[in-house]
Amino acid sequence: MFPHPHLKPQPTIESVAKTSNLACRQFLSQWRSVLESSFLITTSCNNQVRLELGELQMPTLLMIGQKDTTAIGKDAAPPEVRATLGRYPELGRLAARTIPRATLVEFADMGHAPQMQDPQAFNKALLDGLAAGPGNP
C-alpha cells in the first residue's frame, strides 16, 4: 500500500524511456517544423503584439539591456530566422514608440539581466521611474 491515497509512485526512468521514445521522435519532428515556420509565426505574433501594445494606457517603464540577444530556440533556428531573433535594442525602441505612455531605460553595457549585472544602476532606474508617478512616466 502506498502511504497516501492521492500520491502515486513515480515512473522509473527506464519505463519513461521505453514508452516515450515514439513521443520524443514525434516531438522532435514537430519542433523542427515549428523552427522551419517560426519566421512566419514570429512575424504574425509580433504584428499582433505591436497592435496590442498601442492599446496600453498605463504608464509603462521598459528596462532593456542593449546587449541582450536572448531568444528561446535561437541556436536551433535556421540562419535566416536566427538573424531576426533577440534584437532587443531595436524592439525596445519600437515598443517605446508604440506604447502611448512608455519610458524606455536602456542599459548600454548590459545584457539579458541588468537587475543582476548592475543591481545599483537597475534599482536606481526603477526607483526613478516609479517616482516619476503615473502622470509623468
Residue 46, CA atoms < 13 Å, CB-side half-sphere: 16
Whether pLDDT at 71 is above 60: yes
Question: What CATH number should be reported for the domain holding residue 27?
Answer: 3.40.50.1820
Residue-range definition of the domain harbouring residue 100 = 13-131
Bridge partners, 104 (sequence order): 62
Q: Give the residue from 52, 71, 64 showing the smallest Cα distance to 93.
A: 64
**pLDDT for the residue 37:** 46
Would you say residue 19 lies in a domain? Answer: yes
State the pTM of this model. 0.60
Would you say residue 77 lies in a domain? Answer: yes
C-alpha cell at 8: 502515486
Number of domains, the chain:
1
Whether pLDDT at 110 is above 90: yes
12, 18, 24, 26, 32 from 15: Cα distances, Å: 5, 5, 14, 18, 26
Would you say residue 4 lies in a domain? Answer: no
